[in-house]
Amino acid sequence: MRRRRFVDGQQTAAESLSSAELESSRASWQLVLTSCLAFRIVNALVVCTYFNADEYWQSLEVAHYLVFGYGHLTWEWKEAIRSYIHPLLFATVYKVLAVTGLDSPFTLSMAPRLLQGAFAAYGDLCLYRLALRLFSPAVANLALFCQMCSWFTFFCAVRTFSSSLEAVLTTAALSYWPLPVSWPRGNPEVAGSCSSRGAALLLAAAAVVIRPTSLALWLPIGLAELIAGHNRLVFLFLEVLPIG
C-alpha cells in the first residue's frame, strides 16, 4: 500500500512537472512570436524608402488595379505569365480599406507593408523553430538574434516583393520538414512535435506558386525524400500529387 502511494505520488509529481514544462514552453513560444511581431511592425513603419520597382510592379500596382480599376501593369501581367495569388493578398487589404472608407494614401501605402511585416514575423518564428529542431535552444536564440540584426533582412523583409513572401514560406516549410532519423543533434521532442510533412509540402507548394523558381530548392529535397523514404507510394500519391 505504501509503495502504491509512493508510485502514485511520483506520477502526480511527474504530471505536475510535465504540465509546468508545457506551460513554460507555450509562454516561451508566445514571447518569441510577440517579440518578432512587435519588431517587424516597427520595421515596417521605419523602412519607408524606395529600393526596387518590383516592390510595386509585382504586387501593389496589380492589387491597386484589381480593386480600384487603375494601376501600372508590366508586360508579364498583360501576357498573363504571372500568378495573381500574391497580389490578391494585398488586393484583399485594399478592398477592406475601400469598403470601410479608410483608403487614404497613407493607409494604402502602409497597410500592405504591415501585412508583409506580419508574414516576416512568422518567418522569424519559423527560423527559430528550425534552429531549435536542428540544434539547441541556445543556437535557436542566436539564430533569431542574427536574423533580427541583419541589416539586409531589416531592409527587405517587410517589402512587398514576391521573394520576401517566398522566403517566409520556404523557411516555414523547412521548419516543418521531417528530420532524418540519423540527425545527430537537435531537440528530439521539439523535432517530433513540430514535424509535419503535409504542412511542409503545402507551404512549399505555396512558395512555388508565389515564385516558381522556388522549385529549384524543393525538387532535390522532394527527390531525396522519395528515394530515402519508406512509404514512397504514400508520399508520392497521397501527399505530393493532391497538393501539386
**Quick check: 26 and 144 in contact, CB under 8 A?**
no
Range among 81-85, 146-150, 227-231, 240-244 rated most confident: 146-150
What confidence tens digit (pLDDT) does each residue in 92-104 have?
999 999 999 999 9
pLDDT of residue 207: 95
Of 57-66, 67-76, 227-236, the one with minimum mean pLDDT is 227-236
**Whether pLDDT at 78 is above 80:** yes
Mean pLDDT of the chain: 85
What confidence tens digit (pLDDT) does each residue in 172-218 have?
999 999 887 666 655 555 555 567 888 999 999 999 999 999 999 99
**Quick check: 127 and 147 in contact, CB under 8 A?**
yes
pLDDT of residue 178: 87
pLDDT of residue 7: 44
**Quick check: 115 and 137 in contact, CB under 8 A?**
no
pLDDT of residue 49: 87
Region 9-27 average pLDDT:
55
pLDDT of residue 147: 97
Of 13-22, 164-173, 203-212, 233-242, the one with minimum mean pLDDT is 13-22
Q: Shortest CA distance to 35 belongs to which of 110, 115, 141, 116?
A: 141
For 94-140, the three-class secondary structure string (H helix, E strand, C coil) is HHHHHHCCCCCHHHHHHHHHHHHHHHHHHHHHHHHHHHHHHCCHHHH
pLDDT of residue 231: 77
Range among 13-22, 35-44, 130-139 rated most confident: 35-44
**Quick check: 52 and 21 in contact, CB under 8 A?**
no
pLDDT of residue 195: 72
> Sorting pLDDT into bands at 50, 70 and 90, what band is 153?
very high
Alpha carbon distances (Å) from 57 to 8, 167, 178? 66, 18, 36
